[in-house]
């Protein structure tokens, strides 16, 4: 990782982005010297080699944002260091995505759920005009990331040649302890885990 990747990553965050428990704005990294950014790049590569984050980063804040149609939507605010790393390495993930893209999977740039529905409707109307039979099946995987067992994800990464070093550190990020906040009051720290598609909360120290 080069210092320029960190600087470019910091530029992508809006000035008013939400902050995690470290209260550090991502754009503050733009003020660091080249030497400081090089040291941070070496630290990121050390995290990648170790496959884990430092204990000081072991907390994700879950905050509840009001939805326009009522209710709230939970989002997780990672420590800024982790968010910077994710943005700095996203080019590798996008390159892999482009190299492994399949026409039947609508998950990449310009291929969202609406594009899939529009394309299906167009084919259906064309078939109707030609007097042909038509059938379609659409599978929505928008929440799949919450329930896929990690061992299945690793096997798929092996098969599709996804960078395993990045995957390991991403999984380590999503295994960090969490706390839920409401009106500035936060819960005790918990560890969210997933097993065979079922989700539960395990308190640290409990089986």
- Name the phi and psi angles at 52, rounded to 5: -155, 160
Q: Which of 88-92, 113-117, 148-152 has the highest mean pLDDT?
A: 88-92
Specify the number of domains making up the chain.
Answer: 1
Residues constituting the chain: 207
Task: Indicate whether 142 pLDDT > 70.
Answer: no
Instruction: Tell me whether residue 82 is in a domain.
Output: yes
- Annotate the chain with DSSP letters as a single string: --HHHHHHHHHTS-TT----TT---GGGGGGS-HHHHHHHHHHHHHHHHHTS--GGG--EEEEEEEPTTSSEEEEEE--HHHHHHHHHTHHHHHHHHHHT--TT---STT--HHHHHHHHHHHHHHHHHHT----------TTGGGTS-HHHHHHHHHHHT--HHHHHHHHHHHTS-EEEEETTEE---BEEEEETTEEEEE-TT--
**Residue 173 sits in which domain range?**
3-100+161-202
169 domain-assigned = yes
Share of residues in the chain with pLDDT > 90 (%): 44
- Tens-place pLDDT, residues 94-137: 898 888 887 777 766 777 777 888 888 888 999 999 899 988 88
Task: Say whether pLDDT at 83 is over 50.
Answer: yes
Torsion angle of C-alpha atoms 81, 170, 74, 13, degrees rounded to 10:
40
pLDDT tens digit sequence for 12-66 = 999 889 899 999 999 999 999 999 999 999 999 999 999 999 999 999 999 888 8
Q: What is the mean predicted confidence (pLDDT) over 162-187?
A: 90
The pLDDT assigned to 150 comes to 82
Does some domain include residue 22? yes
Tokens encoding 194: 């997933």
Residue 151 pLDDT class (50, 70, 90 cuts): confident
Residue 193's pLDDT is 64
Which pLDDT value is given to residue 120? 85
Please report the pLDDT score of residue 63 as a whole number.
87
């Amino acid at each position: 990782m080069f210092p320029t990747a960190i600087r470019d990553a910091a530029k992508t965050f809006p000035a008013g982005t939400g902050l995690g428990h470290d209260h550090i704005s991502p754009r503050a990294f733009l003020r660091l010297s080249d030497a400081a950014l090089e040291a941070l790049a070496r630290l990121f590569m050390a995290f990648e080699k170790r496959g884990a984050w430092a204990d000081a980063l072991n907390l994700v804040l879950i905050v509840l944002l009001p939805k326009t149609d009522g209710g709230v939507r939970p989002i997780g605010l990672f420590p800024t260091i982790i968010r910077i790393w994710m943005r700095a390495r996203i080019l590798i993930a996008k390159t892999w995505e482009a190299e492994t893209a399949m026409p039947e999977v609508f998950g990449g740039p310009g291929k969202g759920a609406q594009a899939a529905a529009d394309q299906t409707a167009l084919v259906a109307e064309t078939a109707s005009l030609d007097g042909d039979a038509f059938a379609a099946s659409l599978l929505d995987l928008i929440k799949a990331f919450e329930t896929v067992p990690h061992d299945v994800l690793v096997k798929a990464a092996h098969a599709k040649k996804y960078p395993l070093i990045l995957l390991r550190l991403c999984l380590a990020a999503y295994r960090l302890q969490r706390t839920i906040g409401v009106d500035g009051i936060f819960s005790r720290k918990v560890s969210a885990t997933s097993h065979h598609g079922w989700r539960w909360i395990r308190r640290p120290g409990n089986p």
